Amino acid sequence: MPIYEYECSDCGECFEVFVNITKESKEFECRKCGGTAKKKISSSSFLLKGNGWAKDGYSKCGSKG
């Protein structure tokens, strides 16, 4: 399940929610004040580890063989 970050437009509270993909919503009820919280655009936690394209040089522009 993806984790989304929400921010309340009334009190400014920020919180994270595990959201089922089939029930994904851009608005959520604030846990603190009950106001409307909207989904924030936040950075992902994507990380490449171990042997792979980054280690093998595929990420370098103009690299040869």
Q: Dump the DSSP string for 17-47.
A: EE--GGG--SEEE-TTT--EEEE--------
Could you tell me the residue ranges of all domains in the chain?
3-39
Question: Are 7 and 44 in contact, with CB atoms under 8 Å apart?
Answer: no
pLDDT attached to residue 47: 66
| Per-residue pLDDT at 31 | 84
Cα–Cα distance, 14 to 59 (Å, whole number): 35
pLDDT along the chain (65 residues), means of 10: 84 86 76 89 69 57 51
* Cα–Cα distance, 17 to 35 (Å, whole number): 15
Strand order of the sheet with strand 36-39? 14-18, 3-8, 36-39, 27-29
